[in-house]
Amino acid sequence: MTAVICETGAQWYPICALADLVPQHVLETELLGVDLAVWRSRAGELNVWHNRCPHRGVRLTLGANLGSELRCAYHGYRFASGTGRCQALPAHPNRSPPASMQVRTLACIEHAGLIWTSLDSAEPPTQWSLPDGPTSDLYPQHIAAPLSQVTTALAQHTWDFGHEVPTDASIVALLQPVNPRHTVIHGVLVGHVETTTLQHLRRAHAASLAGLRRVLEMEAPA
């Protein structure tokens, strides 16, 4: 088991699993204290947006994924997939929305079964520190502790999977710094494993991380 924070130099982090983005959904998550709205258009385009309508600040995750647009719950303003530009102001059907009526969008990419983004960098990493191979999601673990503590604890953690991880497979922990008090560990298995082995590893991995969480949350200052 290796714990990896994407070591590409650029500040790219995983924010959710691909499987979390169910059709027509707008998913809410947080990265480094910034609220994010994540949604996929009907055509398959992935959007990671600041979770805030540029008009009156309402969280866009209250809104509706209309397929090619996201509609804000407050005034029905519709923002285009890709650009985040406002397409229509229901209050003024015959006027064009001002150019400044645009959601702040973030660059994003799919990798290793996860969605990745960066608050600072528009260029996705060209080199990933993950081993090559097919990936399978493990269960994410939310921990009420900062990234630095989780990183340290993972490096010292003793894993017990009950039986061997196949030699051609590896388990990787990818860390989402949610905010200064909260971290998510996204677990990914890289390599070929039998379905029954995968199910076993998922449970064992979750149980092991739950133990890590108990220790960390008892250590973390209240």
Q: Give the residues lining the site for other proteins (CB under 8 A).
A: 35, 51-52, 54-59, 62, 73-76, 89-93, 95, 97-98, 100-101
* Pick from 83, 92, 86, 96: nearest CA to 41: 83
Instruction: Note whether 147 and 187 are within 8 A (CB).
Output: no
**Cα 24 from Cα 40, distance rounded (Å):** 7
Q: How would you class 23 by CB atoms within 10 Å of its CB: exposed for 0-12, middle for 13-18, buried for 19 or more? A: exposed
> Nearest distance from residue 148's CB to other proteins, in Å?
25
Name the packing angle between helices 195-219 and 147-156 (round to 10°): 120
> Nearest distance from residue 159's CB to other proteins, in Å?
39
> Toward other proteins, which CB reaches closer, 52 or 111?
52
**Cα 72 from Cα 66, distance rounded (Å):** 10
> Nearest distance from residue 58's CB to other proteins, in Å?
5
> Toward other proteins, which CB reaches closer, 73 or 109?
73
> Nearest distance from residue 39's CB to other proteins, in Å?
16
> Toward other proteins, which CB reaches closer, 54 or 125?
54
> Toward other proteins, which CB reaches closer, 85 or 203?
85
